[in-house]
Amino acid sequence: ASSLKKDVSRLAQELKKLLREKKELETKEREREQRLDFLHFQIEEIEKANLKQGEEEELRQNRNILKNAEKIGSQVEQALEISYTQENSISSLLAQLQNVVSGLADFDKTFKEASEAISQFSITIGEFSDFLIKFKEKQTAAPEKLEGLEERLSQVEKLKRKYGTSINDIFSYLKRAKQEHEELGTSQEKLAALEPEIEKRFNKYKTTAEKLSSIRKKSARKLEKEVEKEISLLGMNKARFRIKIETFLLSQD
């Protein structure tokens, strides 16, 4: 009986713990749903933005170029004239210099190395001129490009105000939000898993408690007979002695 009593006490405590956990999960269910909706909105907002590492710096650099497109275009045109298009451009003067030094190399081989250096420099100037021409071509439709850049930067700034001070911070927040969303999603599974566990523990508790109650009742009947026997020896043959045992069981609710 002593061992059964300990088992009943232990099972009762375990059952109470499970019932408390169930109640807490049910109380938090509404808050959980609201939080899940909020996290879903945030995750979707960040993912739809399709941010890239280093994107903000690139956007600001391109915006600076487009904002100063007129000034840059003028200076690029000037550089192109000096290097290639004007009458006395570097390319033109280098070509003239190349002819002179090549002629000298015909008489004195020591000028050959200088001639090759001038030739290489001419190639470099030519490549630089090509770069300037391509750069000019990219500057077309600047107002439309600038508007698009401003809109994208505005979107990035809006996300930074909500989720962090940089794109890296936003990515970190996204990771945490996804993790929390996943954890909250499993709490409903925990609640569902508790039900059969509570029923299992309750049945075990009930069976053990009833067994203990049965033993106590048998002991009580035995004690009643012994007491009545003692009373009858005192001449009280009609006296009856009864022990009342009340059993209280925990409910699953």
| pLDDT tens-digit map of 160-206 | 999 999 999 999 999 999 999 988 877 667 777 788 888 887 877 77
DSSP state of 82: I
Q: How far apart are CA 17 and CA 23, in angstroms?
A: 10
The tokens for 120 are: 């290489």
Verdict on whether the full-model pTM lies above 0.75: no
Q: If we measure between CA atoms, which residue out of 191, 250, 178, 182 comes closest to residue 11?
A: 250
CB 173 within 8 A of CB 46: yes
Structure confidence by residue, pLDDT tens digits, 64-107: 888 888 888 889 889 988 988 888 889 889 999 988 998 898 88
